[in-house]
Amino acid sequence: MERTLFFLVTLPISSGALLLLFRAQRARMRFAQLVLLAGLVFSLFVFFRRPNELVVNLIGSYNLYLGINRLSGVILLFVNLFGFLVCLYSRDYSLLKNKGIYFSLLLWLIAFSNLACLAADFIIFIFAWGALLTLLYAFLNLNTAGNNPDSLKSRPSDSANKALVVVGFGDFSLLLGICLYVYTIGTTQMPGVASVMLNNPLNWCSFLLMLCGAFAKAGCGPLHTWIPAAAETAPGPVMAILPASLDKLLGIYLLARICVDFFVLNDSAMAILLLIGASTIMFAVIMALIQHDLRKLLSFHAISQVGYMVLGFGTGVPIGIAGGLFHMVNHALYKSGLFLTGASIGEKKGTFDLEKLGGLATYMPVTFFTGLVFALSISGVPPFNGFASKWLLYQATLIGMFTTENRFLALVFLIALVAAMFGSALTLASFIKFIHAIFLGQEERPSEKKKPEEVSAPMRTAVVVLAGLCIVLGVVPNLFLREFIEPWMSQRVFFLGTWNSAVSFVLIFTGLLLGLLYWASGKDKKVRQDDLFIGGEEPVFGPNFPATEFYRTIEDLPLMKRLYLFLKSESLDLFNLLGRLLRSLAYLLYIFVDRMLNLLTYLCGYLVLGFSWAFRKAHTGVLDFYLVWVLCGLLLVIFFLFRSY
Amino acid sequence: MVVFFVVIPLLAAFLIPLVSKMREGSARVLAVLSGSLLLLLSIAGIFMIKNGSIVYSLGGWRPPFGICMVLDGLSVLFLLVINLIGFIALLYSWDYIKRYSSQGLYYTLFCLMLAGLNGVAVSGDLFNLYVFLEITSIASYALVAFGTQAEELEAAFKYMVLGSVASAFILLAIGILFGSVSTLNMADIARSLAGSESRKLILFCLGLFTMGFSLKAGLVPFHTWLPDAHPAAPAPVSAMLSGVVIKVIGIYALIRLVFNIFIFTPAISQIFIWMGIISMSVGVLLAIGQWDFKRLLAYHSISQIGYVIFGIGLGTPLGIIGGLFHLFNHSVFKSLLFLNAGSLEYATGTRKLQEINGSGRAMPFTSVSSLVASLSIAGVPPLCGFWSKLIIIIAAFQAGNIIGGITCILVGMVTLASFLKVQKYAFSKQAGDIVSKIKEVPLTMAAAMSVLALFCVLIGLFFVPFLDQLIRPATNVLLEGANYVNLILGG
């Protein structure tokens, strides 16, 4: 068991390399799928063996530790699950160019994610983290097919560079933070029980730097900017595996280790986490509201949801931490599902513009229903999984607010609660637009050429599995909590309010069934068409009710207009800030160093030429004159010889 | 054996006028033949002295009484320089000199010059040294004037007047010395002077020698003849003058006297160092403003000779190694540069850099070899000039001569700038009208340049064995100055 853990890393790495030897595309896909299936089975096996704090010394005396605990076992399981599903989906995804390298990258991605989960010491961890950054860069550099005109607005390399800089900044901070932390605790082995208090500047620095690493990975504000940029150019499956699932799993895993295993949080740290979480929820969802590109819309939601997870850890109570982790799993499920849905639509329609889409529910029923499940889940509608985890988080903020003695912290808890609930509502608003614009409503200019069909079976399977998991986790959240999350936590999760999701699920399902029966009975099948009537006002939009139109009015509200202008300007974008800083630095260097040196060089040059001129003037070519020089020279030589005499 | 270094070229010089009367072309065959024999002989010399230096007494008269010739490490180094460059220059002359009338006279003078140079290098006798020096000088005055145009004649006249002044002072010093110690054999003089070199008369002699040989070497402020004489001569002669003559009758004679006859005192060291610093700075500053290619090269000769005398003047083993190494390197790349200049003049009819404009495409051998030589003289690694300059600079800093070390570096930079100018105008610049009419020089000239360029690269790459085989024995002769007496007089 101990050393076999390492197979989870070595097997995908070697198979990824081996894959490149295969000639046939299909063989590569099959092989990759097989390896990922093996990884999934093995991680299931590892999970159900319930290893408790196992640590293996990897190479003799070098003190490199691999290990697994209750939390990393769960993460490992989900990493391999997503790897397998996305691989399944990618098989028939045609917008992806150069699939050979893609499958190798996918295998390596899973390998290094496994390694990051299995790392029981900081050296292996930071190594895996660096490899993941490299793979992220490689993935984002993949070209999507040229038949997708939307993606040509910005080049893949631009967004890849942006991700490299922002996540690279985070990784660098993480490395610094880890160095400081290792300096404090005196060993590179990861601790299992938090012992470091945030009571001196050194530990604070270490804590904040490590947070930066986790935030950049998970895409939490203010280190989120690479995700919307990547969404515009990266292929759908890549978005589904990286920012939507794996990066969240690993980023939040790191956050969990930081907040629970590495540091003992105090009130200020909690307030920082809560505020970052709350503000991330709010501004990202506000940005999401006005997006017309479905990939960008999804990417802003991917940021917004991270806010919930961070907020959960910020509460510092067991139910909040459990809620954060639960939300992480849920989010990975529905967000990767949503990105895959988006990819399916792009695959069939060739565009991601919400204004150009519409009415796809008829042609793509499976995609519609799974998309609806994901949308309701992310919006926190009961009885789906998003509600279950958000419910835990609301309780956690309430518990935190009532138990803390710090007035200020109580206020922060209140802000967080409001932000979380309000954010959830805005998410719902945004996803109504998403569902309406894509699946309902009408196409702006219906293409007569051919009707879109449902995507292929493997692609459907992948999204159906994800949607099924969303429902299952929504119906039996307590089971998941007991089996997957509580074992890692030192305390039992204490519930403030109870929510019997199974019963409500049955009730809701019965209601839906009854409605369906009523509809099937055929009473209301006749449809009457009439003119538009909006309180006597002229309708500003056509009869096809474009979903994006309403959201434009939000953008034009007096206060919101300012806010959007500020947010859209990306003036807080780390990438832009760094770029501006470097540019000004370069300019200063140019003026004060380069130009000065240039001036100096010219001065020297003129000096040399001046001397040259003077010496040439002295050489008159007159023989008598030269003879005088010779005699003077002789006198000087003799003078110097005799001086020492 | 040793005497052949003088006999072969003298014999050739004697035979050439006779045979060239019968057949015009036979002169160059004879000259090249004697040149190649001399080259082989000087290479053999390297191996002959492996087991110790060789002293040859003319007519069997033992040294203090008869005339002797000495072959030690220093002589061998200089003989190699003389005969290598001499052979290459003769090879180059094969086609080049066809443009001039009376080839027979040219080769006669050239062989006479070789005889004089070899004689200076092997002579163990002060008066013989003076005689060979005069043979060399007079042959070179005539060769500078060989073109018989106004410019050449003026330059030769200037050279002759100043050279005669130097010769006269050298003769005066020899006379005073003879009057004082009653012998002309160098080892014997050294033995007699031992312990009395601080006498005023001897110091005066040393001053006269220093001035005289410095003038022959072209050191500032005795350099004024050089920028006129070197460009005026035909290209192979310029190569000999700049590459060999100023070194043998200037530097060699000076250091032979100072190290082996007199004692190398701190005062003379200071004089060498300062002459070196001044020569290298003034030379390079004068060079950078020149537009005449050969005149530019002539000023660079002054500057590079400054490096040599500076390195030797430091007096440390490393300094002398650097100085002698640079001397050898300079003779290779400066001769090459003069041959390049000759080729350009041969092809384009002008020496003005602005007028040569971008002939690189049309003349591949010339442009590539001149690039190698330019980079060598500018001290760009890994070519030969880099290593010798590096050794001199390290030696300067080791000896605590910060000013000299920094001057060496700065002068190297200006040298680079100056040769970039040469490369830009002569070869790289956008081709002017002149280019369409020119073509590469004949084979022998191209071969001569290629061989020298190859030397620049090879010495740069294998400088360690080169230093061990050639430079170190020569350095030891200078460092163990007193051994010279024991060697010749058998004491």
Instruction: Give ipTM to 2 decimals.
Output: 0.86
* Chain-chain contact of B169 with A634 (C-beta, under 8 angstroms): yes
Q: Residue A155: phi, psi to the nearest 5?
A: -85, 150
- Is-contact B111 B31, C-beta < 8 A? yes
Of A615, A626, A632, the CB nearest to B162: A626
* Chain-chain contact of A633 with B214 (C-beta, under 8 angstroms): yes
Residues of chain B found within 8 Å of residue A608, distances taken between Cβ atoms:
285, 288, 414, 417
Distances (CA, A) of A244 to A33, A105, A306: 20, 17, 10
Q: How many angstroms separate the CA atoms of A419 and A280, rounded?
A: 9
Residues of chain B found within 8 Å of residue A611, distances taken between Cβ atoms:
285
Residues of chain A found within 8 Å of residue B211, distances taken between Cβ atoms:
630, 633-634, 637-638
Estimate the crossing angle of helix A99-118 against helix A7-19, to 10 degrees.
170
Does B425 reach chain A within 8 Å, measured CB to CB? no
Residues of chain A found within 8 Å of residue B288, distances taken between Cβ atoms:
608-609, 612
- Is-contact B258 B264, C-beta < 8 A? yes
Contacts of A42-45 with C-beta under 8 Å, sequence gap 24+, read A42/A7, A42/A8, A42/A80, A43/A8, A43/A76, A43/A77, A43/A79, A43/A80, A43/A81, A43/A114, A44/A77
Residue in chain A lying closest to B284 (CA):
A612
Per the model's pLDDT, the better-predicted residue between A477 and A209 turns out to be: A209
Tokens of B203: 């110091």
Please write the tens of the pLDDT for every residue from A559-599: 778 888 777 776 667 777 888 888 899 999 988 888 899 99
Q: How many angstroms separate the CA atoms of A239 and A236, rounded?
A: 5
* Chain-chain contact of B222 with A623 (C-beta, under 8 angstroms): no
Task: Identify the DSSP state of A61.
Answer: G
Report the amino acid identity of residue B478. L
- Residues in chain B predicted with pLDDT less than 50, given as ranges, are none
Q: In which band, very low, low, confident or very high, does the pLDDT at A145 lie, cut at 50, 70 and 90?
A: low
Residues of chain A found within 8 Å of residue B286, distances taken between Cβ atoms:
612, 615-616, 619
Report the amino acid identity of residue B164. S
Q: Which residue has the tokens 């082996």?
A: B260
Q: In which band, very low, low, confident or very high, does the pLDDT at A491 lie, cut at 50, 70 and 90?
A: confident
Strand boundaries in B25-96, DSSP class E:
54-57, 68-71
Nearest-neighbour CA in chain A from B477: distance (Å) = 24
Tokens of B356: 């040569």
Residue in chain A lying closest to B170 (CA):
A634
- Is-contact A148 A89, C-beta < 8 A? no
> How high is the pLDDT of residue A364?
87
Optimal mutation site among B220, B224, B295, B407, interface A, most CBs of chain A within 10 A:
B224
* Chain-chain contact of B285 with A621 (C-beta, under 8 angstroms): no
Q: How many angstroms separate the CA atoms of B148 and B346, rounded?
A: 17
Does B270 reach chain A within 8 Å, measured CB to CB? yes
Enumerate chain A positions whose Cβ falls within 8 A of a Cβ in B. Answer: 605, 608-609, 611-613, 615-616, 619, 621, 623, 626-627, 629-630, 632-634, 637-638, 640-645
* Chain-chain contact of A640 with B225 (C-beta, under 8 angstroms): no
Does B262 reach chain A within 8 Å, measured CB to CB? no
Nearest-neighbour CA in chain A from B20: distance (Å) = 37
User: Which DSSP helix (H) or strand (E) runs through A76?
Assistant: helix A70-90
Nearest-neighbour CA in chain A from B220: distance (Å) = 8
Residues of chain B found within 8 Å of residue A612, distances taken between Cβ atoms:
285-286, 288-289
> How many beta-carbon pairs below 8 A join chains A and B?
82
> How high is the pLDDT of residue A2?
61
Residues of chain A found within 8 Å of residue B157, distances taken between Cβ atoms:
623
Distances (CA, A) of A58 to A3, A64, A73, A113: 8, 5, 18, 18
Closest to B137 measured CA to CA, from B159, B155, B119: B159
> How high is the pLDDT of residue A149?
47
Q: Residue B229: phi, psi to the nearest 5?
A: -70, -45
B57: which strand partners?
B68
**Angle, CA of B434, B438 and B440, to the nearest 5°:** 145
Q: What is the mean pLDDT of chain A?
A: 85
- Is-contact B211 A637, C-beta < 8 A? yes
Residues of chain B found within 8 Å of residue A621, distances taken between Cβ atoms:
228
Q: How many angstroms separate the CA atoms of A283 and A241, rounded?
A: 24
Q: In which band, very low, low, confident or very high, does the pLDDT at A147 lie, cut at 50, 70 and 90?
A: very low
Of A613, A623, A644, the CB nearest to B158: A623
Of A612, A621, A632, the CB nearest to B288: A612
Residues of chain A found within 8 Å of residue B285, distances taken between Cβ atoms:
608, 611-612, 615
> How high is the pLDDT of residue A438?
86
> How high is the pLDDT of residue A448?
56
The pairing of beta strand A196-197 with beta strand A65-68: unpaired
Q: How many angstroms separate the CA atoms of A455 and B199, rounded?
A: 111
Q: Is residue A292 pLDDT above 50, yes or no?
A: yes
* Chain-chain contact of B165 with A621 (C-beta, under 8 angstroms): no
Q: Is residue A436 pLDDT above 90, yes or no?
A: no
- Is-contact A273 A281, C-beta < 8 A? no
DSSP string, B299-357: HHHHHHHHHHHHHHHH-SHHHHHHHHHHHHHHHHHHHHHHHHHHHHHHHHS--BHHHH-
Q: How many angstroms separate the CA atoms of A302 and A246, rounded?
A: 12
Residues of chain A found within 8 Å of residue B267, distances taken between Cβ atoms:
640-641, 643-644
Of A613, A626, A638, the CB nearest to B207: A638
Q: How many angstroms separate the CA atoms of A253 and A251, rounded?
A: 5
Q: Is residue A540 pLDDT above 90, yes or no?
A: no
Q: How many angstroms separate the CA atoms of B295 and B353, rounded?
A: 11
Listed in sequence order, the DSSP H helices in B361-432 are 364-378, 384-398, 402-422
Of B210, B221, B285, the CB nearest to A629: B221
* Chain-chain contact of B289 with A609 (C-beta, under 8 angstroms): yes
The pTM assigned to this predicted structure is: 0.61
* Chain-chain contact of A619 with B282 (C-beta, under 8 angstroms): no
* Chain-chain contact of A642 with B161 (C-beta, under 8 angstroms): no
Closest to B2 measured CA to CA, from B83, B56, B68, B46: B56
Residues of chain A found within 8 Å of residue B414, distances taken between Cβ atoms:
608
Q: Which residue has the tokens 């369906």?
A: A516
Of A612, A633, A644, the CB nearest to B286: A612
Q: In which band, very low, low, confident or very high, does the pLDDT at A546 lie, cut at 50, 70 and 90?
A: low
Q: How far is CA B151 from the centre of its chain?
A: 23
> How high is the pLDDT of residue A450?
63
> How high is the pLDDT of residue A571?
65
Residues of chain B found within 8 Å of residue A606, distances taken between Cβ atoms:
none
Residue in chain B lying closest to A608 (CA):
B285
Optimal mutation site among A638, A639, A642, A643, interface B, most CBs of chain B within 10 A:
A638
Q: Residue A65: phi, psi to the nearest 5?
A: -110, 135
Q: In which band, very low, low, confident or very high, does the pLDDT at A518 lie, cut at 50, 70 and 90?
A: confident
Closest to B174 measured CA to CA, from B164, B163, B185, B158: B185
- Is-contact A396 A315, C-beta < 8 A? yes
DSSP count for chain B of H helices, then E strands: 22, 2
Residue in chain A lying closest to B295 (CA):
A616
Q: How many angstroms separate the CA atoms of B391 and B329, rounded?
A: 13
Average the pLDDT over each of A61-75, A623-637, B474-488 and give the range with the smallest value.
A61-75
- Is-contact A81 A113, C-beta < 8 A? no
Tokens of A355: 């204004």
Residues of chain A found within 8 Å of residue B221, distances taken between Cβ atoms:
629-630, 632-633
Residues 338-397 of B with CB under 8 A from A: none
